[in-house]
Structure 1
Amino acid sequence: MGDDGDAFDVIVIGAGPAGEIAAARAVRGGLTAAVVEERLAGGECAYYACIPSKALLRPVDLAAEVRGLPGLELRGPIDAAAVLARRDEVVSHLDDSGQVRWIEDRPATFVRGRGRLAGPLRVEVTGPDGDVRTLQARHAVVVATGSDPLVPGVPGLREARPWTNREATVAEQVPKRLVVIGGGAVGCEMAQALHALGALETTMLVRGGRLLSRFEPFAGELLADSLRRDGVDVRFGRSAVRVERAFLDGPVTAHLDDGVQIEADEVMVATGRRAAVVDLGLETVGVPADGPIEVDATMRATAVPDGWLYAVGDVNGLNLLTHMGKYQSRLCGDAIVARARDLPGEPARDTADHAGAPQVIFTDPQVCAVGLTESQAREAGLPVRVVEDDLATVSAARLQADDYRGRVKIIVDEERRVLLGATIVGPAVLDHLHAATIAVTAEVPLDRLWHAVPVFPTMSEFWLHLLEAYGL
């Protein structure tokens, strides 16, 4: 067991947003916690994903708004060097000392090193110097190791040293020629950001027939139109079958399935992610080591009968979104406290509700969605009615831009008369998503929602349009 300094009520492996919140909730409930992290405290989101990508996209978003109104024309291209410099400040120049202080101020113990399960309630930490320290948990171990970018097995691709989100978001220079493989959220965001910052020849290779295949079809259509207007070459139904790079700093050539060759300075892969479970020691506690870790409604690993192992965030595969990982962690931490203290009844908030998981693609146009799409609702056999509206018909759209393009769609459960899902696509619409999230999650009856009066003239009037189209 080691000395008392190596024993904690809760041990969290992974100091990304999910791990940090799980530890903070445990400490708030009166337990002691240790947080183990091999890389940067703050995780992928803080340094290589959510935060830096949005720092790169924000100037692009503002530039698009400026272009939409006369009298505010840009005086030349976006200053890429200034944008990259601000990006560096936003990610603290990849210095995690501030994030470590945040953890220690909870207070929790931060342990730098590679954490690995070594049997029930035991975690071995291999430090930067190679020394191994064994930690013992009294009540729970939480795995919060996130996910890693998935690189497909295209011949020559790995050898060509492709970019993933990690290299793209911390790039010191913007390549003039860029090939992006993938048409999901990461591919769309980074293709648009890097193109606007100087990747003048940007080509997207999308294996399917549309962008953002998990969203309503019109979302990908509007975004593809916008990318093409800006000069991005979006190719549907195309895949790379071979990739070559002869020299370390030389160009890369992508050979496509239609026989075409594209030469670029960099190739970026954005084809998905996989749970980060390699060498995590899951086999020592009877959990399948290939991931993701299956959990119950309190984020407790179902394969561990004694119920001491939990998994939150990307590593459990439920929802690969930072805000949903943080939601899971709040729920998980509270459940651990309730069980550790043997509180009467079931653990507080012991049901994870993913039906209202919101998501935003921070492109121009912005793509916002919550709940079910029409196809998902119909596949579930629900009594569906669909209502759509062209956002350009909202009075405030003319104030936003002379050529405003956007659309909104809601999915209604006709029997209960509540929203099952909503998708909003257009410039400057992301702040309207939370209203839709509340309506979906709280199952607000449409007859009640009708009394939530939208302010004139704002884009929120689309709610009035939708409800009137429904017949209210």
Structure 2
Amino acid sequence: MTRTVDAGQDHGHGHGQTHGHGAEESTYDVVVLGAGPVGENVADRVRAAGLTAAIVEAELIGGECSYWACMPSKALLRPAIARSDARKVAGLRESVYGPLDALEVLRHRDTVVGHWKDDGQVDWLDSIGVRLFRGHGRLAGPRRVAVTGPEGDEHVLTARHAVAVCTGSRAVLPDLPGLPGARPWTSREATSSDRVPARLTVVGGGVVGVEMATAWQALGAKVTLLVRGGGLLPRMEPFVGERVAAALAMRGADIRTGVDVAAVVRDGGTGPVTVVLEGGDHVEGDEVLFATGRAPRTEDLGLETVGLAPGSWLDVDDSLRVTGTDWLYAVGDVNHRALLTHQGKYQARIAGAAIGARAHGTEPAAGESWSAHTATADHAAVPQVVFCDPEAAAVGLSLAEAERAGHRVRAVDVDMRQVAGAGLYAQGYQGQARMVVDLEREVVLGASFVGPGIGELLHSATVAVVGEVPISRLWHAVPSYPTLSETWLRLLEAYRG
């Protein structure tokens, strides 16, 4: 026997009761699968629209970003970058030439992630009136989600208006001989390890590989970086990866590009790990991190019950609604549009607004760029900072991407040593900036930066790209002297000649 509860009666806090072997059933306006930053923001936005909401999570509330990605990685990286910057300041460098206190850095990392406890996140969900169901959720047909709790308890949630899949992505390990028994690190182990390996081999030259190489090298590990392609950070302008590679190598990293891994060997799963390369060469280390891509967490979500392929990325329109449905949304990494926490949270705000509008009888205008219901930035203005040393940042289109898209463009480059604020920020400052301009409209299509402290330059670039601010108007956006933001003035001067 089953008791059915309409959660609309109590703003999301109705509790069903199970009798016998039946599942508790509840009805909400919106059901969210996944309580990471993306799912939390979808729930928050639909509650703000006056709808009831339930959220389902099998792990910690707060998700990958809070416990195994953004937050712990930046906690590990901040001391490394701060020390590096301090060593470039006269009168200070002499005080910071000792090693980092690795144990204290790891303790601080643990504090940042709340010691992998989610009490505060749970309290926040409760404060906004969202009902939390802990357990594994699977679609059980249109608008229905079956939840199996940690103790085997079962719930069936029905959504009046929408189900939002916000389950994120997971690290992908390649199919290599010996790898399963070698206990490789993925991004999770790399951000949560409680000790510094003497030797760390990193496979992959993307964001995770570069950031973790930076962090663990600063904490005392001897790092070898194995890159299949020709350079680091291949999705950014080529000069960005070149400068980051040069800095890592200067600090002692062994960077090998154009190499393929053939096998991984770790006798007994406890000793040193050997990475065997194609051609017979090998690299020995104490740990190996594979940072070689992501896959969607959609393999056991019941997608087949609604005609979708399990384990697939979910195709969506610009309101984040899954193609071919009028009730299912896929927000964040699972739609493969932009695998970044801040971009997923942006999508969540868009999806929440679209769900709310449709629930109240208003259909958002299709294709209306930059509206409250259209995730336009996913196509035109995705910002990203890589917290390596030096920092790397980009937004919008690179020169190659703009040319492939058919734009008539011009790129202008500035050596940031020209900027007075750079010399004050750090003696011997090394950095480069690029602005990509649409010559027909004379607006900025993209910008890229590499150098100490440039992460804080990125939002001004994002505003310029999103706002499609004409170059003629940017001349009147006067940067304060002497700051790194004067880079914008140097870029505009280089463009005008």
TM above 0.5 = yes
Residue aligned with 2:54, SS: strand
> Which digits, 9 at most, give the CA deviation of each residue in 1:25-71, with x for residues without a partner?
00011000001000010000000000000000000010110111232
Is the aligned partner of 1:276 residue 2:276? no
State the distance in 2 between where 1:140 and 1:268 align: 38
Residue 344 (structure 1) shift: 6.8
Residue aligned with 1:3, SS: strand
Does the Cα contact within 8 Å between 1:2 and 1:134 map onto a contact in 2?
no
Is the aligned partner of 1:95 residue 2:95? no
Residue aligned with 1:40, SS: coil
State the distance in 2 between where 1:251 and 1:159 align: 12
The one-letter amino acid of 2:440's match is E
Is the aligned partner of 1:340 residue 2:362? no
The partner residue of 2:406 within 346, 362, 381 is 381
Q: Which residue of 1 aligns with 2:88?
A: 68
Residue 393 (structure 1) shift: 1.3
The one-letter amino acid of 1:248's match is G
Q: Which residue of 2 aligns with 1:244?
A: 265
Aligned positions of 1:66-465 closer than 5 A: 66-72=86-92, 73=94, 74-199=96-221, 201-304=222-325, 307-343=326-362, 346=365, 349-353=372-376, 354=378, 355-465=380-490
Residue 351 (structure 1) shift: 1.5
Is the aligned partner of 1:37 residue 2:60? no
The one-letter amino acid of 2:430's match is R
> Which digits, 9 at most, give the CA deviation of each residue in 1:249-302, with x for residues without a partner?
211111112322222110001011011101100010112223101111110010
State the distance in 1 between where 2:452 and 2:177 align: 39
State the distance in 2 between where 1:290 and 1:59 align: 38
State the distance in 2 between where 1:407 and 1:157 align: 39
TM-score (norm 2): 0.93
The one-letter amino acid of 1:456's match is Y
The partner residue of 1:53 within 73, 76, 94 is 73
State the distance in 2 between where 1:236 and 1:259 align: 16
The one-letter amino acid of 1:53's match is S
State the distance in 1 between where 2:139 and 2:200 align: 41
Change (3 A) 1:344 1:423: closer
Alpha-carbon RMSD: 1.2
State the distance in 2 between where 1:70 and 1:229 align: 21
State the distance in 2 between where 1:105 and 1:293 align: 31
Unaligned runs of 5+ in 1: none
Residue aligned with 2:98, SS: coil
State the distance in 2 between where 1:153 and 1:344 align: 46
State the distance in 1 between where 2:364 and 2:81 align: 49
Residue 75 (structure 1) shift: 4.5
Residue 159 (structure 1) shift: 2.0
State the distance in 2 between where 1:113 and 1:13 align: 10
Residue aligned with 1:247, SS: helix
The one-letter amino acid of 2:485's match is S
The one-letter amino acid of 2:57's match is E
Residue aligned with 1:208, SS: coil
The one-letter amino acid of 2:297's match is A
Q: Which residue of 1 aligns with 2:23?
A: none
State the distance in 1 between where 2:404 and 2:173 align: 31
The partner residue of 1:23 within 21, 39, 43 is 43
Deviates more, 1:21-30 or 1:341-350: 341-350
State the distance in 1 between where 2:399 and 2:258 align: 24
The one-letter amino acid of 1:37's match is E
Deviates more, 1:338-347 or 1:148-157: 338-347
State the distance in 2 between where 1:150 and 1:209 align: 21
Residue 346 (structure 1) shift: 3.9
State the distance in 1 between where 2:160 and 2:441 align: 46
The one-letter amino acid of 1:144's match is C
Does the Cα contact within 8 Å between 2:139 and 2:305 map onto a contact in 1?
yes
Deviates more, 1:237-246 or 1:39-48: 237-246
The one-letter amino acid of 2:44's match is A
State the distance in 1 between where 2:458 and 2:73 align: 20
